[in-house]
Structure 1
């Protein structure tokens, strides 16, 4: 059911994103911005409800992956810079930054906690500042972390603090009317923190502000887990004459990825299911295949399995999966079927450009 609900939301966000890149009058830009904000809010509400359902049914899993905590913090900070600037709020990332801190826990869920906390801080702060303070102390095996999100909002009454992390709880009923939301974000963050053996606490003083703190010990990644270099700026690679095939059954999504690829300088061929994709690849040279996972006739997973069984990696196209389902199980199924990369909807032009740049770079160095 989540796929059916997410798909039209992705269409709204994708089309409004394309529209925002066209020549618009100021009034039209404001309308498009409103559509995008509303679409993102709707998607966030949906994700909260689905995550809470998983937590209630004990189906939520933590995936242990090596990741650079400093890079993750910077990524989250940059996500909210524009929001803070729009509200004329001071917004800073404060702490001593080690150049390289590779930890071993779930980066997706860790980022989700930070996004929930920072989003709330900016949302409820009308003037003043939102600071992200951090302190890391590591030995040979672990890192003790403290991350504090400090704001200058109106504050939370003491009696409300005690129930703040309960599901569907908000400081008062006017909050949901003014700002939207399900009242699930903090409850989800608390549960995820505990699943990662971290502690999430809150303190607040009326008319001064609030502090949310994540603290605990996270294992450092083993050397065998670390198979990447510190993040570097993405380089612009010259457009090459790639033969690109897109297998996607939804007409809106077909139009979206076709327009994005055309804006990047490519001329993709579009088909509607896995059978048509296999037939096209048999008849015509195909360098890159964008493959939707849920399609009629033959789905993306089965099509990828057939391609990888019939051809070695030097002959078959480079396969990029596209899916509205963002679960780790879906990603694992994709990779097990021989798919090379994974793209979660809604995707952006920059993400597609980066994946194609990676392919071109790998192709030219081998």
Structure 2
């Protein structure tokens, strides 16, 4: 039977259902995950923490399952329109790695992004769909890797772009590779139990890769890990190659870091015009030109003390080592970083240790300050966001409709607005358009239970500076607010005005 003809601009019934289902399911799920994250930041008995972690793990698995089912249904029911925009492949890759860093932390894994050539050229293509491909592939690698690391390798080619996702997981037998990209299929019953999903993530990746005219290849062997390689035929953008990070003129020594952390640090330092030098910890020799050292926390105490005497040092900790910060400072370390390393944090901390001050374009943003307006009609989600931001030093006002948000924005002069896109009386899209039409240049972050490339484009067109998906971890929300209320917000304001 032929599909009924739709008038231009009309929504398919399937699309309306998917949007509604996505919002109605994700919104209470956001309340569950957000509340348990706040709970885990409080003092808990060991058994209470174990129960709360179980809730968070179960909720996260449910969210992954929901995302895959809805994404697959959307791809199956809709005509996908591809967009073309200029984007930086390194920045896009780092965004994916940073989004998935909490998941890597929780699993005790290292995660890193590495570019083959820096600075790397920009490309033209559908960045939203490419981000979705990478998110699924890196997330899949984290799911099946128990020890070691996941690396996102970025390669520029004359005729396009290649992303490789390399893990130290169990590997895939050659006979299983042909079935990997079939919907509702997993390699084994054991994988299904471990995954907790239904086998849709890689089917979505294959569908999106085909839509972009690309190809995907899998290599590896049981016990030797896996490499997924996505090759996309993209044209280079008419933008000059740019560094993704502020310029950092320094020689930085890398001492006793895990392999994935070394790769991440090397890539970020080169991108920031710094020169990494590998230090042989067994000899203890540090070249005199080294200005800052990065030392792995796993090194013996006497090694850390000896290295810290030779150059100002930052210790690189595992997430579970945060309680040992005072001990490492007593050994002579000037500061610390937690892995997986964030490129921007690495560059900022190295600059601080080297100069004793902050870069002119990277002011200190360790705590929040200023007024934040939260527009959200769900009282639980609004409470989670308010508590998270107030604990970081922000003053928060909550509005439950778009109209209330407009009135509050005029009276309180906020430094930042978090705008839910689906609200009664006036939705977030219309509220943002009104504020921009009235000349407001306040940073606005669109928040939605349904985020896909189409929603992102609509939100940016309405005036949003950024778009984030529910649920968002309290700590990630704090970092987002601190980022947009700092000097970095100046560049974003101009883009949305």
* C-alpha distance in structure 2 between counterparts of 1:126 and 1:273, whole Å: 45
1:321 alignment partner in structure 2: 446
How many angstroms apart in 2 are the aligned matches of 1:93 and 1:216? 18
2:160 aligned with 1:147, yes or no? no
- Structure 2 counterparts to residues 1-366 of structure 1, below 5 A: 1-77=21-97, 96-126=116-146, 132=151, 134=153, 136-139=155-158, 142-145=159-162, 147=164, 149=166, 151-153=168-170, 155-156=172-173, 158=175, 160-206=176-222, 208-223=224-239, 230-232=244-246, 233=344, 235=362, 236-237=364-365, 242-309=370-437, 311-313=438-440, 317-347=442-472, 348-358=477-487, 361=490
1:65-97 Cα shifts (integer Å, max 9, x gaps)? 333223343454556667667767787767734
Q: CA–CA distance in 1 between the matches of 2:105 and 2:411?
A: 53
Deviation at 1:198, TM superposition (A): 1.6
Other structure's SS at 1:162 match: helix
Deviations 1:123-142 (A, max 9, x none): 33456x55647473544xx4
Moved more, 15-24 or 245-254: 15-24
| Segment drifting more, 266-275 vs 113-122 | 113-122
Deviations 1:30-58 (A, max 9, x none): 33333222222211111111111122123
51 and 363 in structure 1: CA distance in 2 versus 1, 3 angstrom threshold: closer
User: Cα 1:15–1:363, aligned 2, differ >3 Å: closer, same or farther?
Assistant: same
- Mapped to 2, the partners of 1:195 and 1:186 lie a distance apart of 14
Count of residue pairs brought into register by the alignment: 356
> Following TM superposition, by how much is the alpha carbon of 1:193 offset from its aligned partner in structure 2, in angstroms?
1.2
Whole-angstrom CA distance in 1 between matches of 2:223 and 2:492: 58
Counterpart secondary structure, 2:56:
helix
Equivalent pair of 2:415/2:485 in contact (CA under 8 Å): no
Distance in 1, Cα, partners of 2:231 & 2:410: 54
SS in structure 1 at match of 2:426: coil
Quickly say closer, same or farther: Cα 1:231–1:11, change in 2 above 3 A: farther
Label 1:247 to 1:99 Cα distance change in 2 as closer, same or farther (>3 A). same
1:286 CA displacement? 4.4
The CA distance in 2 between the partners of 1:81 and 1:293, in whole Å, is 26
Q: Bigger shift: 231-240 or 22-31?
A: 231-240
Give the match's secondary structure for 2:57: helix
Unaligned stretches of 5+ residues in structure 1 = none
Give me the TM-score of the superposition, normalised by structure 2: 0.62
Distance 1:266 1:200, change over 3 A: same
After TM superposition, give the deviation of residue 281 of structure 1 in Å. 4.2
Distance, in Å, in 2 between the alignment partners of 1:243 and 1:137 is 43
User: How far 1:285 moved relative to its partner?
Assistant: 4.3
Deviation track 1:186-245 (CA, whole Å, cap 9, x = no partner) reads 111111111222211224544555443223433222228x8x862442643487863433
Q: Is the 8 A contact 1:100 1:230 kept in 2?
A: no
Displacement of 1:150 in angstroms is 5.0
1:329, 1:33 → 2: CA distance?
A: 34
What is the CA–CA distance in structure 2 between the aligned matches of 1:320 and 1:193, rounded to whole Å?
A: 29
Whole-angstrom CA distance in 2 between matches of 1:276 and 1:321: 16
Equivalent position SS for 1:357 = coil
8 Å Cα contact 2:219/2:226 also seen in 1: yes
RMSD (Å) for aligned C-alpha atoms: 3.5
Aligned to 2:358: none
SS at match of 1:269: strand
- Aligned-pair CA distance for 1:166: 1.0
Contact (CA 8 Å) 2:140, 2:201: kept in 1 or not?
no
Quick one: distance in 2 between partners of 1:170 and 1:250? Answer: 37
CA deviation profile, 1:327-356 (whole Å, cap 9, x unmatched): 233233333333444333223221222122
Change (3 A) 1:101 1:21: farther
Q: Tell me how far apart the structure 1 counterparts of residues 177 and 411 of structure 2 sit (CA, whole Å).
A: 64
Normalising by the residue count of structure 1, what TM-score does the alignment of the two structures yield? 0.81
Following superposition, the deviation at residue 287 of structure 1 comes to 4.6
Distance 2:400 2:152 in 1: 49
Tell me the CA shift for residue 145 of structure 1.
Answer: 2.7
Larger radius of gyration: 2
